[in-house]
A and B are shown apart, each in its own frame.
Chain A
Amino acid sequence: MGGASAPRRLSGMQKQVLALYRGFLRATRSKSPDDRHRIESIVSSEFRRGARQVDRKNFLYIEYLLRRGKKQLDQLKSPDTTGLSSLHFVPPSQSMGSRK
């Protein structure tokens, strides 16, 4: 291959986040065009918000978000799911407290 520019190095955690994002975008393909567009814009803005607001060294919290995202993705994959109502980005303290 060309190799004109050095490949960007992604950490394992970054790869997991990107894989999750890919998973979400893939899951929206099976929805109606309207739902798809709506879900895509929610998912995209949530990932971008996370990228902006979450400290990249806050591994515990990112791991928590990854776990939660995987669960939401599983829900989204169900054919009956047409939206994401539970997708809300909450600060670490609150989100940890609300989980049993």
Chain B
Amino acid sequence: MAMRAAILRYIRLPARAQTLAAPRSREWTLLGGSSASRSMSSHGDDHLTKEEVVERVLSVVKSFPKVDPATVTPDVHFQNDLGLDSLDTVEIVMALEEEFKLEIPDLEADKIDSCHLAIEYIHNHPMAS
């Protein structure tokens, strides 16, 4: 019995130590997060200008075989305005990935359905080049 009590007391200690440590570790990630975003914004100097992104996005979309280049503006919606389907949209987003040397995760790529969103996404992407 004495041994069992001793073991139980021993087990309880680390658990209490963990609950104390939890808030402290959250603080640490908050600090880490803010410093990371600060270092990312300082990269802005050698980042692409908006004009350059617009121009290159439009030229990729214009070169797509099914698209009439004359109809492409920074505001066009791939499916509503250019008459493309979801497979075409995948092809365009993939072509943009190659143009800007990015890899766009599926979750983001599914949302990009217009020149406007493509331009915004690429312009805000720290790795676009």
Write the residues of chain A forming the contact surface with B, with a CB cutoff of 8 angstroms. Answer: 1-2, 4-5, 7-8, 10, 14-15, 18-19, 21-22, 25-26, 29, 44, 47-48, 51
Q: Does B117 contact A (CB under 8 A)?
A: yes
Are B90 and A18 neighbours in the complex by a CB distance under 8 Å? yes
Q: Does B52 contact A (CB under 8 A)?
A: no
Residue interface bits B87-115, CB-to-A below 8 A is 1, else 0: 10011011000100000001001110110
Say whether, besides A7-B113, A51-B87, A2 and B120 are in contact (CB < 8 Å): yes
Output the residue of A10, A15, A18, A26 with the most chain B CB within 10 A.
A18
Give 4 closest A-B pairs by Cβ, nearest first.
A19-B106, A25-B94, A2-B116, A21-B90
Q: Which residues of A contact B116 (CB under 8 A)?
A: 2, 4
Are B87 and A8 neighbours in the complex by a CB distance under 8 Å? no
Say whether, besides A5-B77, A7-B113, A44-B87, A22 and B120 are in contact (CB < 8 Å): no
Q: Which residues of A contact B79 (CB under 8 A)?
A: 8
- Min C-beta distance of B86 to chain A, whole Å: 6
How many pairs, one residue from A and one from B, have CB atoms within 8 Å of each other in the complex?
Answer: 47
Q: Which residues of A contact B113 (CB under 8 A)?
A: 5, 7-8
Query: Which residues of chain B in 15-58 are interfacial with respect to chain A, using CB atoms and an 8 Å cutoff?
Result: none
Q: Does B85 contact A (CB under 8 A)?
A: yes
Output the residue of A8, A19, A48 with the most chain B CB within 10 A.
A8
